[in-house]
Amino acid sequence: MIALARRLPVLLAAALVIHLVLIQPNHPRAMTWDALRLFPLELVFILPLFIALPAGHFVTRMVRILLVAVLVVLSLLKVADYALFVAFGRSFNPLVDLNLIEAGIRLLAGSIGAVLTTGIVVAGVLAPFVLAGALWWATGVWSRVEPGRVVRVLAGGIAALGLAVSVADIGDVRGAWDLPLDPSGTAFTARVALERVTAYQGLFAQLAAFRTAAADDPYAQLATPLDRLEGRDVVIVFVESYSRASFDDPFNAGVHQPTLAEGAAKLEAAGLSMRSGWVTSPIAGGQSWLAHGTLASGLTTSNQALYSAMLASDRMTLFDYATKAGYETAAVMPAITLPWPEARLLGFQSVYPARDLGYGGLPFNWVTMPDQFTLAAFDRLFSERKTPYFAQLALISSHAPWVPVPEMVDWDDVGDGSIFNAMATSGEPPSVVWQDRQRIRDQYRLAIDYSLETLLDYVARSPESGERLTIVLGDHPPTPFVAGIEGRDVPMHVIGPIDLVDAIGAWDWSEGLVPGSDASSWPMAGFRDRFLDTFTTQRSGDADG
């Protein structure tokens, strides 16, 4: 008893280490002081199990290795979940999200600098080893307890009971059954492990269904797609992180609504018609290419695995149909700084990444160039083309970190972009601004407002707009704490000559640039088919009908 009393503080410290790992939250909403009150039911299994196992035995050592490995992996998954819930509003799936690590590091370096980013990366690499060492020590402390035979048998029974209660709690939370009693605790970490296994199984089933849907394209045999456009140009403009928050969140709406009203007045004065509605993005917080792929393919590419499956399929994108209709298809992508071989698979004949747009100014942290320069470059590249074009343009001034925000200059003064240099180095860096959530929201609001003001002014002043169909939409909402609201709805505006805009009358969208607040939203994946239906006279299979 005296020896046990002397070891009690060490045993409690070791139990605390395991306890803290088990209650580690994986969601921002759970990161509260109340989380420390959570009792992990797995602890009732783990600690008695080590008392029941023979000290120093090979089996005990193997159990320790397995447990430490599992807990370290689950701890890393929880950290990854936390990060993705903050950034994208969803959990982490290593089968499809590993590519985000590299992308995140590049975004971080462009936002807070290489030195701080290197420190974070080094800390992230070392953390699992530190955690593994702490857990190895903690399990070693409990595995060295050498009680008598009776206590060992009793501990084994308690461990079995702890396992049974944990399984019962997991089944109750997942809706498999209803427990007559509510255990004073929860097997959260074990539940996370089970959810990962079922999520991976679900992904394979999702991929199988996706491949079937990709192969079943009712428009594949169209003989004269998009003939109702009569060869007039089309440009699809994605505005980074533009979402329903600009309408439904008072903090954002108070600034963005007047900008939209002023833009609508300019468009109307230029003789252009407008209709607006809601579409639901497959994502939130980031990964814009998944939204781009969804719109183009007519399939919901909500993760990297589905996106890759879409690219590998024979599915014709909207840009493929435009090529068949005689258009030159192009993508103007100022965010692209690395090779982009996927462009051909998406149906683009020409691609203009950042280096081909002629920008000679300084970057705005991660953002390679301001939207006004991108639009001016688009005008320079496409305004005098003889062949009709069907283009995608991705604006990025409203991409995080939203610091600094450019200001509009006279269009004749844009030049090579060096006029923006003073703006690019103005204000406080992201490492300072991003310490305050309210300042982040302020910067986001300003960045979206700049993008809207610039884009609408460009469309209203461009002579090409009179005969061009311009489709403006958000790619995805920002993370919820920035947006101020939940959900994945983004606005879509169709702007152009009255006959083309009136053609979408059956969509039942609102006139102007403000979608009806009570209007229903349809999936972004539905755009391809709806657009083809609207602007194609008939399918080839119906020619004899």
542: in domain:
no
Tens-digit pLDDT profile for residues 275-286: 999 999 999 988
Given a contact cutoff of 8 angstroms between Cβ atoms, the answer to whether 234 and 471 are in contact is: yes
pLDDT at res. 541: 42
Residue 12 sits in the same domain as residue 133: yes
Residue 57 sits in the same domain as residue 8: yes
pLDDT at res. 489: 95
DSSP string, 428-463: --HHHHTT-HHHHHHHHHHHHHHHHHHHHHHHHH-G
Owning domain of residue 257: 221-535
Matching residue, tokens 């407002």: 449
pLDDT at res. 455: 97
302: in domain:
yes
pLDDT at res. 539: 56
Residue 188 sits in the same domain as residue 227: no
215: in domain:
no
- Other Cβ atoms closer than 10 A to 128: 14
Q: Which of 158, 173, 203 is the last residue of a domain?
A: 203
**Long-range contacts (CB closer than 8 Å, 24 or more residues apart) made by 356-363:** 357/332, 358/416, 358/417, 359/334, 359/416, 359/417, 360/415, 360/416, 360/417, 360/418, 361/416, 361/417, 361/418, 361/419, 361/420, 361/421, 361/424, 362/420, 362/421, 362/424, 362/425, 363/110, 363/424
Residue 134 sits in the same domain as residue 261: no
- Other Cβ atoms closer than 10 A to 142: 21
545: in domain:
no
Residue 169 sits in the same domain as residue 263: no
What is the pTM (predicted TM-score) of this model? 0.78
Residue 10 sits in the same domain as residue 45: yes
CATH number at residue 294: 3.40.720.10
Residue of 188, 145, 192, 183 whose CA lies nearest to 48: 145
Residue 184 sits in the same domain as residue 241: no
Helix (H, G, I), strand (E, B) or coil at 537: coil
Q: For residue 364, give Cα distances in angstroms to 139, 176, 396, 433.
A: 49, 51, 10, 14
pLDDT at res. 110: 63
Residue 234 sits in the same domain as residue 199: no
Number of domains in the chain: 2
Q: Which of 203, 237, 262 is the last residue of a domain?
A: 203
153: in domain:
yes
Three-class DSSP labels, 205-272: HHHHHHHHHHHCCCCCCCCCCCHHHCCCCEEEEEECCCCCHHHHCHHHHHHHHHHHHHHHHHHHHCCC
Residue 341 sits in the same domain as residue 386: yes
311: in domain:
yes
The list of the chain residues with pLDDT below 70 reads: 1-6, 87, 95, 99, 103, 107, 110-112, 181, 539-545
Q: Which of 203, 231, 260 is the last residue of a domain?
A: 203
How many degrees, rounded to 5, is the angle at CA 193 between CA 189 and CA 195? 110
396: in domain:
yes
Alpha-carbon dihedral sign for residues 513, 514, 518, 523: positive
Residue 504 sits in the same domain as residue 420: yes
Helix (H, G, I), strand (E, B) or coil at 183: coil
pLDDT at res. 72: 93
Backbone angles phi, psi at 390, to 5 degrees: -130, 100
Helix (H, G, I), strand (E, B) or coil at 486: coil
List Cβ neighbours of 344 (8 Å cut-off, separation of 6 or more). Answer: none
Tens-digit pLDDT profile for residues 22-51: 888 888 777 878 778 888 888 888 888 888
Residue 280 sits in the same domain as residue 240: yes
Residue 376 sits in the same domain as residue 249: yes
85: in domain:
yes
